[in-house]
Amino acid sequence: MRCNALAMGPLGRLVVLAVAVLLAACFASQASAHANLVSTSPRDGVAVTSPPREVQVRFDDPVSVGPGNAVVAADRTSMLAGSPRVARGGRELVLPLKRLGDGDFSVRWATVSDDGHFESGSLAFRVGSRQLGAGAPRSVLAAESNDPSGGDVFARWLFLGGILVAGGVVLFRLLVSRAGTREAAAMLLFALSGVLVGGIWLLAMTPGGATRFAEVTAAVVLVAAVGAAATALSFGYPRVRGVATGVTLALLAAPTLAGHAFRAASVRPLTVAADLVHVVAAAFWVGGLLQLAVVVSTAADPAAARRFSRLAVRAVALIALSGLARALVELASVSELWSTGYGRTILVKTALLASLIVLASFSRHWIGSAMRLLRTVSAELAVLTLVVGAVALLTTLRPGRDASAEPQAVASAEVAPAAAPPTGSVTFAKESGALAVALAVRPVDPLRLVATIIGPSGRGVDGLDVELRAENAGHRATASARPCGHGCYAASLRVSQPSVFKVEIGRSRAVAFPVTGAWPPPSGMSFLRRATSAFRGLRSAVYQEHLASRPGNAIDTTWKVRAPNRVGYQIRGGAGGIVIGGTRWDRPAPGAHWRRSETTPLEQPFPPWGTGGVDARVLRETASRITLSWLDPSVPAWFTGTFDPTTALPLELRMTAAAHFMRQRYVGYNRSVEIEPPRQG
């Protein structure tokens, strides 16, 4: 292996090193990037009649609690009832409140996003219907400044500059020249010291120690300390030089792991790859120029300048291409180059890089003159110092795509037909107010939960804040559900032998689905087919039905059916009807005149659950009863039925569908049922 590596050309070794760093980062923990504000509850400027128990500030990525959170009354008395915390997987900041009376209240929230950025905002809300003054309530608290401090930028400059110089020195020695060993070790020790100082400074200034940025920075400080110790020992013990080389190369992944590159999973491979290539190529140029200046000034390797120049051209091309790829991700439009601080800093960085390319072209012409080459290299290093400063500033700023994003209020809306319910699962369903709430649980490890929420119009309800939960006797698992289509919310949970599932919608309602039998429930498809066949083979049936479209709007009906095509129904205190073959009679109220019309003959008895059921499962079974749940995806409608295990005929049936919450109780089979034409036609 060692012989093959030595035989490989310089460019090949550069590619191998870049790929190695890329693979190391690909196996790092998946994390999110800069958190954007999604919504607040209460909303800014709103008046509420009942006092909230807490203020919720929601983000699209995990955050940690920052310093300066406060909730005060109009007289600036604190109304916080405890320490702020994060919930829902870190995506929600919660400020617990004391019992509030009527009045205006001001909120200042503060968080630290996963990439180490401090964020703060303010809002105001009013409690009580009484008007306490003209206009909407206004906050007496101002948000903390989100702008980076000079100390933060300088610490990042030390941190990033140290990583680039240290990595570049090692890359130069591996790919260009091993001349000036002691000078290279001294430069490496100096660079790693900068990483240590900058990293410790950043940790001291960055609140929210649980963030990805803080964790990566702490790891870098530890690795840099090991590298610095190994480098110092290498002056007397050359064999430890390899340790210093290895840990220094590992540091090249740190800017990517700690920064903006870890965006949403859909673009993460592009951003991670582009950022790593950018860092490795920049390190080769920055640290390589420093080492080249040492080699040129000592005349230790006259040919080093030419070898470095050939590789530097390729490094500059990689920097330009990877920088373009990163800009395409971090900027939503060209106008953000001049309309956001992030974009303007990119323009400054690009101008500095352009000037560096001009200086580099002079250096290539003056390779034969050591003095002239040293002067141009020194000029390049001066400009590179400014470039690293621009990069340090970029890491403290919100990317243009995030800076221009407006907070979106989470408002529920029935906007489109609901996503197709998932099949191959255990199904549950109930009504919750005017909503039909169904849950499909795929019994795998981890459990895959998909909630379907449908409004009265039959469309899926989007924009809900949904939390899914599974519990057993000793454990409870909860996850914030992610949208999986219109009216569809999904999450994965790891719970063995669950005893209850819950769908929590916002903070105001929760729908529980108890597990009453074995888990996972066995298939009930054969029994459902048997029940369907048994119902269709009846001579007659009588059942009572309670049907509601929403709370407070329900009707109770008695149904009679008789083979082969007779149906009679009577709504309590309301309309009634009779259907015999192709003729029907209807009346709007008891005692009213019957109206005759023609219709399509109805085959009877026909099972109220239809014939298109799927995913039937036996939820509970005893000697006298068997309870099944199943789904009719064509409606969609969810059923739970209790049957006589001997006859396979239904005793009770529940159906949940859009604005159609039905309960049926069966009171007679194969009796003498009178369904005749009315006396007055």
Query: Is 237 inside a domain boundary?
Result: yes
- Which of 379, 403, 427 corresponds to the end of one domain? 403
pLDDT band at 480 (very low <50, low <70, confident <90, very high): confident
Same domain, 445 and 575: no
Number of domains in the chain: 4
Q: CA 497, CA 445: separation in Å to the nearest integer?
A: 11
Mean pLDDT within 264-291? 71
Same domain, 496 and 621: no
pLDDT at 406: 42
Q: CA 297, CA 374: separation in Å to the nearest integer?
A: 7
Same domain, 645 and 612: yes
Query: Is 495 inside a domain boundary?
Result: yes
pLDDT band at 485 (very low <50, low <70, confident <90, very high): confident
Query: Is 138 inside a domain boundary?
Result: no
Q: CA 517, CA 617: separation in Å to the nearest integer?
A: 11
pLDDT at 132: 38
- Tell me the range of 342-351, 402-411, 497-506 where mean pLDDT is highest: 497-506
What is the domain-level CATH number for residue 83? 2.60.40.1220
C-beta atoms surrounding 427 within 10 Å: 28
DSSP string, 244-284: HHHHHHHHTTHHHHHSTT---TTTHHHHHHHHHHHHHHHHH
Same domain, 218 and 246: yes
Query: Is 258 inside a domain boundary?
Result: yes
Position 20 pLDDT exceeds 50: no
Same domain, 183 and 78: no
Which stretch of 143-157, 228-242, 246-260, 404-418 has the lowest confidence by average pLDDT?
Answer: 404-418
pLDDT at 618: 97
Alpha carbon 278 to its chain centroid, in Å, reads: 27
Which stretch of 141-155, 444-458, 628-642 has the lowest confidence by average pLDDT?
Answer: 141-155
Calculate the average pLDDT of the chain. 79
Q: What is the pLDDT of residues 39-52, one digit of tens each?
A: 788 878 777 777 88
pLDDT at 673: 92
- Which of 480, 514, 548 corresponds to the end of one domain? 514
- Is the separation of the CB atoms in 571 and 555 below 8 Å? yes
- Which of 374, 403, 432 corresponds to the end of one domain? 403
User: Across-strand partners of 441?
Assistant: 426, 449
Same domain, 323 and 293: yes
Q: What is the pLDDT of residues 524-573, one digit of tens each?
A: 999 999 999 999 999 999 999 999 987 778 899 999 999 999 999 999 98
Same domain, 445 and 543: no
What is the domain-level CATH number for residue 645? 2.50.20.10
pLDDT at 35: 67
Position 469 pLDDT exceeds 80: yes
Same domain, 331 and 476: no
- Is the separation of the CB atoms in 650 and 535 below 8 Å? yes
The residue among 325 and 105 whose pLDDT is bigger is 105
Same domain, 71 and 93: yes
**Residue 202 structural domain:** 2-30+149-403
Position 26 pLDDT exceeds 50: no
Query: Is 323 inside a domain boundary?
Result: yes
Q: What is the pTM of this model?
A: 0.46
Q: CA 426, CA 447: separation in Å to the nearest integer?
A: 11
pLDDT at 273: 78
pLDDT band at 202 (very low <50, low <70, confident <90, very high): confident
- Tell me the range of 85-89, 132-136, 555-559, 590-594 where mean pLDDT is highest: 555-559
From the list 123, 146, 149, 145, the residue with the least C-alpha distance to 136 is: 123
Tell me what percent of the residues of the chain surpass a pLDDT of 90: 31
Same domain, 287 and 318: yes
Tell me the torsion sign for CA atoms 273, 277, 280, 283.
Answer: negative
Helix (H, G, I), strand (E, B) or coil at 212: helix
pLDDT at 64: 84
Query: Is 134 inside a domain boundary?
Result: no
- Tell me the range of 65-74, 94-103, 331-340, 642-651 where mean pLDDT is highest: 642-651
Same domain, 224 and 343: yes
Mean pLDDT within 225-236? 84
Same domain, 473 and 535: no
Q: What is the pLDDT of residues 576-587, one digit of tens each?
A: 999 999 999 999
Position 166 pLDDT exceeds 80: yes
- Is the separation of the CB atoms in 585 and 566 below 8 Å? no
Query: Is 678 inside a domain boundary?
Result: no
Q: How far is the CA of 296 from the CAs of 300, 310, 364, 377, in angstroms?
A: 7, 16, 14, 10
pLDDT at 78: 92
Position 404 pLDDT exceeds 90: no
Mean pLDDT within 474-492? 88
Query: Is 589 inside a domain boundary?
Result: yes
Position 212 pLDDT exceeds 50: yes
Mean pLDDT within 397-408? 50
